[in-house]
A and B are shown apart, each in its own frame.
Chain A
């Protein structure tokens, strides 16, 4: 049997459960922001393409909020990536190196697309159809970045393929041929598109006092997209499940009680949100979709555990206790939340005045 190449883990300052908690807390926030950004931008570009007056206004509104959503996505991605490194550093660093070229490309691509989206926002009227091209290119780039992330997150769970490094010293390793990769990617991207539909509907709701026509159109169009894409994505999700290695698939079918319950809850929520979306109930749909994203994150975590359990479990991590830095972090976190609350309050007051 070939040697499995897994670097040794570093020690932790507190028990691994704290990091798992923080990872599972922050990652859904990142996903929600990313979904709203990516799905919203795609819907905005499509609306811009169709060219109807209200759709053009919708595209403009989406162009205005997309840069903020990118900032939010990046920011909310930092925390889970940090905690992921603490728990699974030996895997994520290795997989990142094996696909180093693609991984580092994320940086210039993101910069380019981010700048492009600002251009699309600041010069929406002046650019006209050219803006559409810019927005379209940015959307394609974000889809590319999503593919790179999906690829890395899958590769980090496949240590048995790490040995292929020796044929790809330059970081050009690809595992796109891995059965589950296309379904995993498609499931994530369609999920983003569906949630983008919800974000568009929500954005319209917030604009109701200023532009009722836009608000009604956004809500209707957003929910319709959500409904249609979610139906397709449910099928893709099942295909994704079936494409998983048998051991991992069975985790959600009784082999692991927690994973199975999460899966069942996810299915129930899916049915519920399809129903509420069909009935045009935006807030109820959101109330189903957000917990579903959280459950998906938990399922994803179970899946990763399943991929790695032959080689590594979190309880193998050694702790050299130092609790004061964690207390410091929680104090800073509370302070930060208070600051954000204050900013929100002052912004709302200013908006109300204008």
Chain B
């Protein structure tokens, strides 16, 4: 809210961060582990007095230099650029809090670069023991870079007491510092193994290829095994909400983890089979497949780690949409637009409602949701929601979906945002409607939109409520948490619960009182021109009441010659009751 939003609704800033960040970590972990790999490969060559292995190591060093310098260091700068573009408030906060941590990391980055150049350009032109020391120095500097960055980005997920104190060392040695450091070190070693297999696959000499493939495979295997306890430790120190998110509470995280798990298993199989047991099987496609698995695995981990912070970008301090937690109360009181700097509408009026709503979307939703594009497309997510449903949902979305930030602003602003989404995006009505007293069905519909429509389309629930009466449906509504831990029991009054239950079963083939409507009369009006009562009784003999009701809604599908049922929903209910009654409810 204090910074302008770089608004690319078709792409989304989050997508850009993810692309650059995953790419960077895939290289940067290699830049750490690969340094140690080079030294140990060189030592192996020297110990075995194998010129072939030394040549391999030099080739790998060249590949290493190109990859880490060109792709690694520049994509590292790229992350810096993109986070400042997409989330400037959080970036500024981190930079100001940890500036000397970043500065120290820069020193190690400098040593790392210098050592990498010396290592490559003096390969074979320097005394071996000195050359190895240069390699060790490189690895040490690279690992120290990892250590420093690990401390700073770790605080974003597990700030601990730093969230309150802002003390540098308290934040740096945050609760996940050590497990994350060990885990990332394992990943770095794993990356070194994978990249080693890749270079080996490009080797023309069979003996070197086999030897260095197995050597690299052992690196990968050891790293994968060592990573398991580190990962468990890592998860154990996460705050409760983050733990819930990474263990399946968030559907996107669950999906990312599934991909990651498949990638890990495939990588393990490839490592065991084509690198350790039968290294002769390692060739370019196999090595590239292993790299792809490693990439997906790392992407899954980074995605999960980022997602585990939700609804924050810096846990307990700044929400994903750059709003400081400490400002929330005041924003709710004064209004977001009044407090925000980079908006044109500082209050909502009848004339600017859509424009203000659009700005609220940009400021509060866009950081995670595109509009009409792939990443968490808000147009698709709200497609089935009406204006009242959005109004009700936005006000409490953080309780329904704890990984989302609360809306910051007044009720009027909630309505402006809802109006923008329902009206401007979906072309729906945006009028505040209050159900008339005594119209239970309309009240039930309104309750449905306020409480259910955010996640459920009406028709999707037909099966769940088919055959239920108000009492049965009401009981379900009171125990929604038993159906899914993502839902909470309906929290309205008894009367509201009955109204909602009545609405839900009214279109689900449930047992609704149709007093006042004569089912026989409906039959006469709509059916009797073509059907005798006996025929209908026989035809529907295998159906229960719910099926009769449902099938009345799809007559042309059953018999193409038949027109659709043209009566009202209540008449359909009454007709279903009537037909069901003809066969004694059997």
A residues with a Cβ closer than 8 A to B are 5, 7-8, 10-13, 19, 22, 67-68, 71-72, 74-75, 78-79, 81-83, 85-86, 89-90, 93-94, 96-98, 100, 103-104, 106-107, 110-111, 114-115, 118, 162, 165-166, 169-171, 320, 322, 324-326, 328-329, 332-333, 335-336, 339-340, 342-343, 346-347, 350, 354
Q: Does B109 reach chain A (CB closer than 8 Å)?
A: yes
| In the complex, residue of chain A having the shortest beta-carbon distance to the beta carbon of B89 | A7
Q: List, in ascending order, chain A residues with CB within 8 A of B100's CB.
A: 13, 325-326, 328-329
Q: List, in ascending order, chain B residues with CB within 8 A of A320's CB.
A: 166
- The answer for the CA separation of A325 and B172 in the assembled complex, in Å, is 10
Q: List, in ascending order, chain B residues with CB within 8 A of A354's CB.
A: 125
Inter-subunit contact A97/B99 (CB<8 Å): no
**What are 20 A-B contacts with C-beta separation under 8 Å?**
A7-B92, A10-B96, A12-B96, A72-B113, A75-B109, A85-B92, A86-B99, A93-B92, A106-B81, A107-B77, A169-B7, A325-B100, A328-B104, A333-B107, A336-B107, A336-B110, A343-B115, A346-B134, A347-B126, A354-B125
Q: Does B78 reach chain A (CB closer than 8 Å)?
A: yes
Inter-subunit contact A107/B168 (CB<8 Å): no
- The answer for the CA separation of A51 and B137 in the assembled complex, in Å, is 41
Q: Does B562 reach chain A (CB closer than 8 Å)?
A: no
Q: List, in ascending order, chain A residues with CB within 8 A of B107's CB.
A: 329, 332-333, 335-336
Number of A-B contacts (CB under 8 A): 184
Inter-subunit contact B104/A107 (CB<8 Å): no
- The answer for the CA separation of A83 and B92 in the assembled complex, in Å, is 11
Q: List, in ascending order, chain A residues with CB within 8 A of B16's CB.
A: 104
Inter-subunit contact A111/B74 (CB<8 Å): yes
**B312 → A minimal CB distance (Å):** 17
Q: List, in ascending order, chain B residues with CB within 8 A of A166's CB.
A: 344
**A206 → B minimal CB distance (Å):** 15
| In the complex, residue of chain A having the shortest beta-carbon distance to the beta carbon of B126 | A350
What does DSSP make chain B's interface, helix, strand, loop or mixed?
helix
Known pairs A71-B69, A85-B95, A329-B100; A79 contacts B166 (CB<8 A) = no
Inter-subunit contact A93/B168 (CB<8 Å): no
Inter-subunit contact B141/A339 (CB<8 Å): yes
**A74 → B minimal CB distance (Å):** 6
Contact with A along B375-416 (1 / 0, CB 8 A): 000000000000000000000000000000000000000000
**A203 → B minimal CB distance (Å):** 15
Q: List, in ascending order, chain A residues with CB within 8 A of B7's CB.
A: 169-171
Q: Does B303 reach chain A (CB closer than 8 Å)?
A: no
Known pairs A85-B92, A107-B81; A71 contacts B106 (CB<8 A) = no
Inter-subunit contact A107/B20 (CB<8 Å): yes
Q: List, in ascending order, chain A residues with CB within 8 A of B89's CB.
A: 7
Q: Which 8 A-B pairs have the closest CB atoms?
A: A325-B100, A107-B78, A336-B107, A10-B96, A93-B88, A169-B7, A329-B100, A7-B2
Q: List, in ascending order, chain A residues with CB within 8 A of B113's CB.
A: 71-72, 75
What does DSSP make chain A's interface, helix, strand, loop or mixed?
helix
Known pairs A5-B341, A346-B130; A171 contacts B99 (CB<8 A) = no
Inter-subunit contact A115/B70 (CB<8 Å): yes
Inter-subunit contact B70/A111 (CB<8 Å): yes
- The answer for the CA separation of A169 and B343 in the assembled complex, in Å, is 11
Other than the known A68-B117, A97-B85, what 13 A-B pairs have Cβ atoms closer than 8 Å?
Answer: A8-B2, A13-B96, A75-B109, A75-B113, A96-B81, A97-B3, A97-B88, A104-B81, A324-B169, A329-B107, A335-B107, A336-B107, A343-B137
Inter-subunit contact A86/B96 (CB<8 Å): yes
| In the complex, residue of chain A having the shortest beta-carbon distance to the beta carbon of B1 | A7
| In the complex, residue of chain A having the shortest beta-carbon distance to the beta carbon of B111 | A339
Of the candidates B73, B81, B167, the one whose C-beta lies within 8 Å of that of A322 is: B167
Q: Does B435 reach chain A (CB closer than 8 Å)?
A: no
**A116 → B minimal CB distance (Å):** 10
- The answer for the CA separation of A342 and B103 in the assembled complex, in Å, is 21
B 20-70 contacts with A by CB, 8 A: 20, 66, 69-70
Q: List, in ascending order, chain A residues with CB within 8 A of B74's CB.
A: 74, 107, 110-111, 114
Known pairs A71-B73, A324-B169; A332 contacts B104 (CB<8 A) = yes
